[in-house]
Structure 1
């Protein structure tokens, strides 16, 4: 694993929560000797005064150069953290690994000079800039090759020719639509909007509505920011549900093992030829799950029309074979056809499943090439190094480490 050394890494204050990536970032900090401190706010209930006191005491003791969070976790909607960070002259770095367009509008006016937004989806850069941020960069997902590696033990019931790990999006869609409380016209148009949005090249739901169903735009905007964002998210989740279901149906002739939420039982009711498994724990189970399948099948959320998801990195890191749907940004990071197999439609997915299941040696070669690529370019050490370089680029005048 070739990671260029950092000459003077910043001291990073990580705002931690239950989100999986904070642990990976902390581990990468340890491996690269980046000074860091984890401040766990995820399980604490505290008022604004206690929050300010805790953050100031931590900063005084650790003397960080920047605050680092994921998906704006730990950033409050009242703007207390951003005001405090500015007062302490601590830049805020927020790495988005979910759609920033569903999250950032819910927060106060951005502190553009003191905030660096990194997003896993290169297609979202212009949208983030449109929200008022000027320090913006692309930072895709990655893998921890120590956790996801060949030879991890698995369970006998995980053995499968084809497996798919993923959420059905059924409950998520229902909850977001309920939070939106749309009027009758938006509710009636919901399913068709989701289908048309999925088939379009547009990433932004509001822009899609404005272009294709302008008569609905006043009702959408009339929901206000919070409910409108909930409705837009529900459209994307329903579009993902429909797309993901169509892809999973293409795997049924190959007796897939489907690991996910209970929504799959409802969506696949009346179908035959599959096994269902409860959701798989990311840390404890998933590293041993992927190597048990001859083909790990992946279909990406519609919120990522160009970006790739976590499985694209974790499966090859495990030394396992991946068949995934085509995404433009994937071809900038992997070599399709040599490091993983790519399909462009559910129909092609079925053809490729049959082909690769019949080619044991080819799957083995492709899986080994995929892991080699992850080790060379796509570990969290690579991502942390890129994050720090982006920080140095956008905040070139930071003082010596520790605020001295």
Structure 2
């Protein structure tokens, strides 16, 4: 049996090796990022009132992107957007998502804004999980954007003739590679709610990761079959964006498990739409220069090359095998992570998305 001194020495050596690996990853990301020139866009003679949804990871990225395109950008509030629009007289009111924190008079405010001759647009970011609500909201607006391919024909059939597919993205000012402290380091990290499809998957995967540092963040993880065993590694409740970025950067592997689209207690997908599009987390994880293992959505290959810029899994067994494979292959893990980061920086920042949005909105 090893003595306490030997165990301490082994721990110090493991820490030294882990620190060196993170240093190599940080250096590779820093060098690669310097090869990407920031995009520049001509300012449009345009005033926009932007109404956020209350989720900073997306809201701040879209607001920053709008400022790169529009001469004047005001950030409003869902409860007072009519009064603000009447005072500011923007050419466009852009509402982000329009769910959860929006007041009961949402529809009346939008109708009154349109009556002022102001163009309105909404960008749905939670499709297809709330079609019960979004089917009623979409026809209220002049232009509708959704990150979900399957939702476009649904909205058009619901009366929103001017509906468009527009994927989400990442805010590089927030989601980027950076060095982090030991407290953020892990072998495997996942942040999100413990929806039942995620619980079923991880119930099968976690037993094979005994002895590895796995960190789960979010709510509902008490649903896990061996919750008491994993409780010390769970960070319950909401995780601020800044903390999420730190944990992404500190992880060797970050999992991306899309929630189920089945109607039920976790969803309001009354229309039964199939989820075909990747979530914003796909872009945010890759922007941080960390290896991402994700389940597959139809449009994934339009935005990333699986096996080269991230990797994918179809079954619990495949996910388990790939986690164990990449944990033991630092160079391969780092190469894929850096390529995914570069793809995100070049092609998937919100500034590019917002330029497309303004074009489609006629601005």
Taking structure 1 as the reference length, the TM-score comes to 0.69
Distance 2:53 2:126 in 1: 15
**Do the aligned partners of residues 60 and 11 (structure 1) sit closer, same or farther apart at CA in structure 2, a change above 3 Å counting?**
same
CA distance in 2, matches of 1:386, 1:332: 17
- How far the C-alpha of 1:288 sits from its partner, in A, is 0.7
Q: 376-385 vs 4-13, which deviates more?
A: 4-13
Q: 2:47–2:70: 8 Å Cα contact kept in structure 1?
A: no
* Runs of 4+ off more than 4 Å: 1-4, 73-78, 270-274
1:130 is the counterpart of 2:157: yes
1:167 to 177, 187, 193: 193
1:88-143 Cα offsets, whole Å, 9 max, x none, are: 11121100011252322345x934xx521100111211111121110011111111
Residue in structure 2 matched with residue 268 of structure 1 by the alignment: 225
Q: Which residue of 1 aligns with 2:166?
A: 139
Structure 2 CA distance for partners of 1:72 and 1:106, relative to 1, 3 Å = same
Give the Å deviation of 1:24.
1.9
Change beyond 3 A, Cα 1:167–1:78: closer
Aligned runs of 1:2-401 on 2, under 5 Å? 3=39, 5-6=41-42, 8=44, 10-20=46-56, 21-41=58-78, 55-56=82-83, 58-73=84-99, 74=102, 76=104, 79-99=107-127, 101-107=131-137, 110-111=139-140, 115-154=142-181, 156-169=182-195, 241=196, 243-249=197-203, 250-254=205-209, 255-269=212-226, 272=229, 275-279=233-237, 281-303=239-261, 305-392=275-362
Is the 8 Å Cα contact of residues 280 and 286 (structure 1) preserved in structure 2? no
Q: Separation in 1 of the partners of 2:345 and 2:216?
A: 27
Contact 1:120 1:139 in 2 (8 A): yes
The range that moved more, 95-104 or 313-322, is 95-104
Question: Which digits, 9 at most, give the CA deviation of each residue in 1:332-354, with x for residues without a partner?
Answer: 11111100011111111111112
Structure 2: gaps (5+ residues): 1-36, 262-273
Conserved 8 A contact 1:6-1:385:
no
Distance 1:337 1:13, change over 3 A: same
Listed as ranges, the gaps of 5+ residues in structure 1 are 45-50, 170-240, 393-397, 399-404
Instruction: Answer whether contact 2:85 2:93 (CA < 8 A) is retained.
Output: no
* Cα displacement (A) at 1:33: 4.8
> Would the alpha carbon gap of residues 161 and 386 (structure 1) be closer, same or farther in structure 2, given more than 3 Å must change?
same
* Cα separation, 2, equivalents of 1:334 and 1:314: 13
Contact 2:60 2:171 survives alignment (8 Å) = no
| In 2, Cα distance between equivalents of 1:90 and 1:306 | 33
Question: Alignment partner of 2:110: what SS?
Answer: helix
Moved more, 75-84 or 91-100: 75-84
- RMSD, aligned CA: 2.5
Q: Structure 1 residues 335, 262: CA separation in 2 closer, same or farther (over 3 Å shift)?
A: closer
Following superposition, the deviation at residue 63 of structure 1 comes to 2.6
User: Alpha carbons of 1:30 and 1:7: their partners in 2 closer, same or farther (altered >3 Å)?
Assistant: closer
Aligned length: 306
CA offsets per residue over residues 251-292 of structure 1, 9 Å max, x none?
A: 432235242345212423367467222245232311111111
Q: 1:4 and 1:126 mapped to 2: Cα distance? A: 33
Aligned equivalents of 2:350 and 2:75: distance in 1? 17
Separation (CA, whole Å) in 2 of partners of 1:60 and 1:79? 16
Alpha-carbon shift at residue 19 of structure 1 (Å): 2.8
Q: 1:31, 1:78 → 2: CA distance?
A: 28
Whether the aligned pair in 2 keeps the contact of 1:77 and 1:106 (CA below 8 Å) is no
Report deviation, 1:146.
1.8
Deviation at 1:316, TM superposition (A): 1.2
SS at match of 2:254: strand
Task: Tell me the TM-score normalized by structure 2.
Answer: 0.76
